[in-house]
Chains A and B, each alone.
Chain A
Amino acid sequence: MDIKGFITSGILELYVNGLASPEEVKEVEELAEKHPEIQQEIDAIRQALEQYVLSHQVQPPAGLKAKIMDRIDSAQKPRPVKSKPAATTAVPSQKTHTGYEKDSGANVSAIASWLLAFGMLAAGVLAYWFYTQNEQARTALAASQVQYEQFKQACEERQQKEDALREQFIAIRHKATQPVQMKGTKLAEDALATVYWNNVRRTSYLDVASLPIPPSGKQYQLWAIVDGKPADMGVFEVNTNTDGLTPVPFIENAQAFAVTLEPEGGSENPTLDQMYVVGSVAKG
């Protein structure tokens, strides 16, 4: 495993920015666990982005802190569920002024207050039990929500990827699509790449079958040749592209396509002695 190459490939930057595909995320996380230098690089990238955030602080509105503290206050405090001492005073005195109240009457009243006290205590215990159950459920729900959001995001990413792949599939099958094979020059005889060019739908896709890994600081750039003049179709990466074909700009009246090796970021004009593959559009 070429750790240094992996670190400089750009995949870690995509990962930290949330742009890596689920497979790439898995790969990065597995490798980061094994190789501390990868983890260090990830931390450094993250640190740079966080510094960026910190350098764009904005003073929040004055009342915001109080609102937050209020809300956590009410979110946290259990509603008071005391079994009130009122139980003992809740039963109105049954004494009358006749002096004739019977003993049994006093007993009934005592039993009633005990029952009432017991009932209220039980209610308090129940209320407390419901309260803790509810809090637990809420915590579990919050955790599930976080998980749900993660799944949802992963799912959306997949959907997007699938849509892109389907679109490519349709584009390749379309009757007006011409596959233009670009064969390796003497710089790399085994190199091979194809442009799927469609002048009805006005789309082009690039498929790299084989190109040598570019040295650091260099990047491949795709060109169309129109009436003998090169037209820029953008730079592309070879090593990290696992997402199918790369959509490239459509160039009208292209007669040929070629790939050259250029300084990172691309050039305005192709470096012709660094042409790796080239192929002509069949006349029709």
Chain B
Amino acid sequence: MQQDVETISALKEGNQTALASLYDKYGGALYGAVLRIVQSEEKAEEIVQEAFLKIWKNASSFDENKGKFFTWALNIARNTAIDYVRSSDFRSSQKTDSFDFLVYSQNHPSEETATEHIGLREIVDKLDEKYRTVIDLAYFQGYTQSEIEEEMNIPIGTVKTRMRLAIRELRKIFTK
């Protein structure tokens, strides 16, 4: 991912075209991540709007020395989505089938993947399900350690080990 230095400085100056081109570049990734969290296309659309509005309004607080733009934008989108999921009664209604999102994100008919990632996507989907689940719960759903423990019914020590192994697997995939 090349750096977006010029686009970002234009964004900070309130240039709308800059926002549009950042949307073109990252909109799919943010929408994909949000959809994974909220499990509803309608809601995901709303939340991605909110996220881009926040990105637009808080662009001046983004500090490129502290990290990449994508990291920052993804955090905004994730937090907005997780806040939504946590604030509504969404969670209790989903509790019984909270693993649906795994199925959802794999089989959704309208889902399209950016071409450059198709190959990787297949490899990532081969990642052991127990690793995928722990990443999904922590990184996407914002679960705490004890919530993961409860959800997956494994002791906390195992949560930690699995997380470490999961990241190790991911890193192996992406450094290939």
Which B residues fall within an 8 A CB radius of A? 1, 14, 16, 19-20, 23-24, 27-29, 31-33, 35-36, 41, 45, 48-49, 52-54, 56-58, 61, 67, 70-71, 74, 79, 83, 105, 108, 110-114, 117, 120-121, 124, 135, 138-139, 142, 144-146, 148-149, 154-161, 163-167, 170-171, 173-174
Does A236 contact B155, Cβ atoms closer than 8 Å?
yes
From A19, A48, A234, A241, B154 is in contact (CB under 8 Å) with: A234
CA distance A246 to B160 in the complex (A): 12
CA distance A241 to B156 in the complex (A): 10
Does A52 contact B170, Cβ atoms closer than 8 Å?
yes
CB contacts under 8 Å to B, within A195-245, are: 219, 233-237, 240-241, 243
Contacts A56-B121, A71-B49 given; does A237 touch B160 at CB 8 Å: yes
What is the interface residue range for chain A against chain B? 35 or more
Residues of the A chain whose Cβ atoms lie less than 8 Å from the Cβ of B53: 68, 71-72, 75
Give the segment of A126-134, A139-147, A276-284 that binds chain B. Answer: A139-147
Interface string of A1-32 (1 = CB under 8 A from B): 00000000010011011110000000000000
Residues of the A chain whose Cβ atoms lie less than 8 Å from the Cβ of B29: 53-54, 56-57
Does B163 contact A17, Cβ atoms closer than 8 Å?
yes
Residues of the A chain whose Cβ atoms lie less than 8 Å from the Cβ of B58: 142-143, 146
Does A58 contact B32, Cβ atoms closer than 8 Å?
yes
Does A60 contact B170, Cβ atoms closer than 8 Å?
no
CA distance A18 to B139 in the complex (A): 7
Give the segment of A39-47, A87-95, A103-111 that binds chain B. Answer: A39-47
